[in-house]
Amino acid sequence: MDSPGTPGARGAGAFDIEGFLAGLDGIFAAHEGPTRAAPFMLDALAAAEALGDHGARLSILNELLGLYRSTGRHDDGAAIAEQAIALADEMGLEGTDAYATTLINVGTAHRAAGRYPEALEAYGRALATARATMGKTDRRLAALHNNLALLRGETGDAEGSHAELMAALAILDSTSVDPGADLDVATTLTNLSLVCHDLGRGPEAATHAARSLAIFARGGHHNDAHYAAAVAGHAEASFRMGRVADAVALYRTALDIVAECYGEGSDAYAITAENLAEAERAAAKAGVASAPVASAPVAPAPVQPRAADLAPADLAPADPALSGLALAREYWEAHGKPLLAERYPEYRGRIAAGLIGHGSECYGFDDATSRDHDFGPGFCLWLTAEDHAAIGERLQADYEALPRVFRGVGPRLETRRASGQGRRVGVFEVGAFFEGVTGLRAAPPADRPHEWLMLEEATLAAATNGAVFADPHGALSGTRDGFRRMPGDVRLALIGRRLGMMAQAGQYNVPRMLDRGDGEAAWLAAAEFIGAAASVVFLLNGPTTVGYLPYYKWRFAALRELGARPASRLHGVHRDLADVQRLASAACFGGAGFGEGGKGAAPARAALAVAIERACADVANELRAQGLTESVDPFLEAHRTEVQSRIGDAWLRGL
């Protein structure tokens, strides 16, 4: 579900939209969406209306549109669509990104309800608005082209659907940080494959399906509703290509996710279940297995397994493109799940599994270079304190007896700092795990902001990154989500600090130090500016939505990845910061000879100042868009004062 994310007009008070979104995330994380999401949203809508916070009302209406669409409440969705457009018109948003986003959500709701003329009209208006307000390579345009493709396909215009999908793919390929692991690219390719089958273009369909399959094989994607739709689409492509066993397995995966997210009474569940039944009938008729082959039994004792003990997946050649998260997920599916089912059936509904913490694979930034240390088959199992006391030691021993080689990778290489008490995989008690990462067993309460300020963003990133493969009990996700829900006042305080550093280090001290001929000091000031700006980008996008900025090694990788996400805020600032870093070299130390006054220093100084001011202007624009400042001063110190004035906690406001 998409929110337009506009502050809009405010009346008697401001609704806590971040708290609302965090609460909604918690409901879906606990798989309670079918019963709790709608009442929660309606209560929030009434509260926002009572406060006169129109921006919050519009965001909540957009969330409701998505929920009603997904759960088949189309008449309710139509009423919400009318309210959303009327409110956007009342707020004077026509011609803005927020207006386009609302139109897209309205069009999608109409399409799901079979109201195709209304859907086409809404999408057409959205496209006209988006083309005027977004760049030609904005990924939100790709999402709109994908929606139009679905609409044209459902109305029998296969050629039109193909054209829209090709337009979407061109945008996604040109903007993706890594097209080979981009779920949006994979989804678009899957849809293209289906359309090509409809058009009788078998070879083209096979090409798109093969590329989509390669992306899915890399894995590392979260099990959410969007992923369910992508898996279902891939299942349909497999079915049409005659790979019915694959189709059955994929449809079952999609059905499980849909049931958790939207409930068994939703349209999405009924459609997916019907498709699964058809695939199962085809599999039975063809005489092929309709479920994945069970993994080999877990060997009870040997630390290094013999070839005869290994499942086919263990013996498969190593895939250089397989990410650490994908390897961990597949290892869990092949060996972790069977272990719990066979030896701990009474506990498996209480044990969480996944990969979180330190290490490049937890951020999704690992590559071939990363495999020389702390890499290999492994995952985490998290237990409550009570369960860990009862079975933790025995489960750890069983975990260590699992095959050490999987998918041609292994045994796991571990450095000293990632061994013993610092180990990154295996069996953990939930509180002890987070204490090992952050120093705290759980996130501080909102009324203890000083404890939040003691936690570095990189520490919070390590506690909230990675992926949770299973959490039936919810203890792990509840604790992890607590660290993601940074109190609003703490976030504002940090934003204020970062704005102050951007102003002091970048706008003020870089040129002053250069004027003094102290290139080293100017270089350090530029580095401080870059670090503060990178933090602001994540804080303004919201930790609940995008997580936290990781430590220095992965900052630019994280910024590039965030910039490529649909509807991200400040998505181009990382390019300005890269320019600052590049230009600072020549500006601070001269040209080729790195001598004082070297060739190219003066032009580099001018370009460096432009890059710094461009990044600051983008940040100031975003602050105004979020209602955090009204100042038009180009110097960010003025905005810092305005941000701090919006902090409710007196102690934080006075820092």
Mean pLDDT (10-residue bins), the chain, 655 residues: 43 74 81 81 90 88 84 80 87 85 86 81 86 77 85 83 91 83 81 80 75 65 56 72 79 80 72 82 70 30 35 48 80 90 90 90 72 73 95 91 76 58 84 94 92 94 90 88 91 95 95 91 94 95 88 88 80 90 86 42 87 94 90 93 91 83
DSSP line for 338-366: HHHHHH-TTTGGG-EEEE-SSSHHHHT--
Q: Looking at residue 594, what is its pLDDT?
A: 38
- What integer pLDDT is reported at residue 248 of this predicted model? 85
Cα–Cα nearest to 144, from 182, 99, 204: 99
The one-letter amino acid code at 174 reads: S
Looking at the DSSP bridge assignments, the partners of residue 470 are: 353
- The token duo for 116 is 């195709």
In whole angstroms, give the CA distance from residue 282 to residue 270: 19
CA atoms of 554 and 547, how far apart (whole Å) = 13
Cβ–Cβ < 8 Å for 523, 589: yes
CA distances in angstroms from 357 to 379, 466, 475, listed in the order given: 11, 7, 17
**Per-residue pLDDT reduced to its tens digit, 642-651:** 999 999 888 8
Residue corresponding to tokens 């039109």: 160
User: How far, CA to CA in Å, does 91 sit from each of 7, 20, 57, 325, 346?
Assistant: 10, 21, 11, 44, 55
Domain regions of the chain by residue span: 1-134, 307-479, 488-653
Q: Scan for tokens 């303004």, then name that residue.
A: 540
CA 262 to chain centre: 20
Residue 508: closest CA among 522, 527, 496, 520: 522
**Nearest Cα residue to 352 out of 431, 253, 266, 446:** 431
Cα–Cα dist 587/208, whole Å:
47
Could you tell me the pTM of the whole model? Answer: 0.54
Closest CA to 357 of 417, 421, 420, 424: 424
Enter the DSSP assignment of 380.
E
Chain CA centroid to CA 91, Å: 30
Please tell me the predicted confidence (pLDDT) of residue 359.
Answer: 81
* pLDDT number for residue 314: 47
Q: Are the CB atoms for 397 and 497 separated by under 8 Å?
A: no
Residues 6+ away with beta carbon under 8 Å from 596: 517, 519, 590
Q: What pLDDT score was predicted for residue 285?
A: 78
Spell out the residues 6+ positions from residue 76 whose beta carbon is closer than 8 angstroms to its own: 68
**pLDDT at site 371:** 60
Identify whether the C-beta of residue 220 lies closer than 8 Å to the C-beta of residue 181.
yes
Q: What confidence tens digit (pLDDT) does each residue in 170-212 have? A: 988 888 877 887 778 888 888 888 788 778 776 787 678 768 7
Compute CA distances 562 → 545, 554, 556, whole Å: 11, 12, 10
Give the pLDDT score at 219.
55
Q: Report the CATH number of the 1-134 domain.
A: 1.25.40.10
Are residues 202 and 344 in contact, defined by beta-carbon separation less than 8 angstroms?
Answer: no
Q: Which amino acid is at 230?
A: A
Q: Which residue has the tokens 């370009």?
A: 607
The rounded percent of the chain whose pLDDT value lies above 70 is: 83
Q: Which class for 38: exposed (0-12), middle (13-18), buried (19 or more C-beta within 10 A)?
A: middle
204, two tokens: 């083209």
Contact (Cβ atoms closer than 8 angstroms) between residue 409 and residue 377: yes
Residue in the structure block whose two tokens are 């997210």: 261
Q: How far is C-alpha 512 from the chain's CA centre? A: 40
Give residue 467's pLDDT.
86
pLDDT of residue 322: 67
Where is 470: in which H helix or E strand? strand 467-470
Rounding to the nearest 10 degrees, give the CA dihedral for residues 212, 218, 223, 227: -10
Burial class (CB in 10 A: 0-12, 13-18, 19+), 257: buried
| Strand pairing class (352-355; 426-429) | unpaired
DSSP string covering 29-52, please? HTT-IIIIIHHHHHHHHHHHHHHT
The answer to whether the CB of 401 falls within 8 A of the CB of 302 is: yes
